[in-house]
Amino acid sequence: MIEYYGDGSKLGMKLIYISQGEPRGLAQAVSLAESFVNGDKFVMYLGDNLLKGGIRKQAEAFDNSDAHAMVLLSKVDDPQRFGVAQFDAEGKLVKLIEKPNQPPSPFALVGVYFFTPQIFNAIRELKPSLRGEYEITDAIQALLTSGHKVTHSVVEGWWKDTGTISDILDSNSLVLDDKMEPTSLGTIEDGGTVEGRVHIDANVVVRKGSVVKGPAHVGARSIIGPNTYVGPYTSIGADCQVTNSEVENSVILDGVEIRNVEKRITSSIIGARSQVIGAEERPAGYKLIIGEQSSIRV
């Protein structure tokens, strides 16, 4: 993480890192930030959560409230997979239940929490859960039980918890559908075609005989082609080269080379600086989940 994001300047922000050391739960991780928070209100945002509308509106509402904590909720079809909110007859939040067999409501906890420093006092009183960790839901429940004000807000639009491969691909599709606008900062050679909502980043080259169909994203300095098809719902990172191959509905991370693959690559995630190179004998098709710095000949 530190190597990839650095000080945050390339993202237009300043990043400071706090090492948890031994992983002993989310509440323990929060407790390590107490001196950094220094008495302020703050937000805890689990990095595998993706919300369409962001959290600016909720942050402003919490900042202007007298609540000690606020949780975000989303209505889901399968609440038993998540932490679930329970309400009283007046609609007030009274309990948080982790992955219940019989959920008391369809409202799942989104991994975004707003706190005042009061949460640190609750964490200090916690005991480890059955899995030996200090749970942030237990700390919020302690606030509720002790009479502190804990409010909630139901998120608008989609929410994805990107814990699985299918979740990542779904999230990629949602973001491309929602955010992608046609932009071309690169070069489209004669005989190359870009169709629909495609973002072509700086110094990208789309070579002759190649087609890129949106919604799609092609990162800086990548080369598409010749004789290549990039289909809808594909995100290609920076410094990639896709040659004489077909890719769609996939996430291709930075520095990947795909070359001379006869069958279309679809519904796949290919890790940074990997290679997928065609060979003499070819199977009927490929579905790939490839880690970083891999080299695969197909």
Mean pLDDT of 90-101: 90
Fold classification of 2-161 (topology level): Spore Coat Polysaccharide Biosynthesis Protein SpsA; Chain A (3.90.550)
Question: Which of 42-51, 143-152, 156-165, 265-274 is predicted least confidently?
Answer: 156-165
H or E stretch at 237: none
* pLDDT number for residue 12: 94
* pLDDT number for residue 81: 86
Position 222 pLDDT exceeds 90 = yes
pLDDT class of 99 with cuts at 50, 70, 90: confident
Tell me the domain boundaries of the chain: 2-161, 177-297
* pLDDT number for residue 178: 87
Encoded amino acid at 286, one letter:
Y
Burial class (CB in 10 A: 0-12, 13-18, 19+), 27: buried
Position 280 pLDDT exceeds 80 = no
Report d(CA 132, CA 169) in Å as an integer.
Answer: 32
Mean pLDDT of 105-109: 95
Homologous superfamily, domain 177-297 = Hexapeptide repeat proteins (2.160.10.10)
Q: What is the pTM of this model?
A: 0.83
Burial class (CB in 10 A: 0-12, 13-18, 19+), 37: middle
* pLDDT number for residue 70: 97
125 against 293, higher pLDDT: 125
Report d(CA 147, CA 154) in Å as an integer.
Answer: 22
* pLDDT number for residue 9: 96
Position 52 pLDDT exceeds 90 = no
Nearest to 41 by CA among 113, 93, 95, 145: 113
Report d(CA 150, CA 142) in Å as an integer.
Answer: 10
Report d(CA 34, CA 127) in Å as an integer.
Answer: 19
* pLDDT number for residue 282: 58
How far apart are the two ends of the chain, measured CA to CA in Å?
Answer: 31
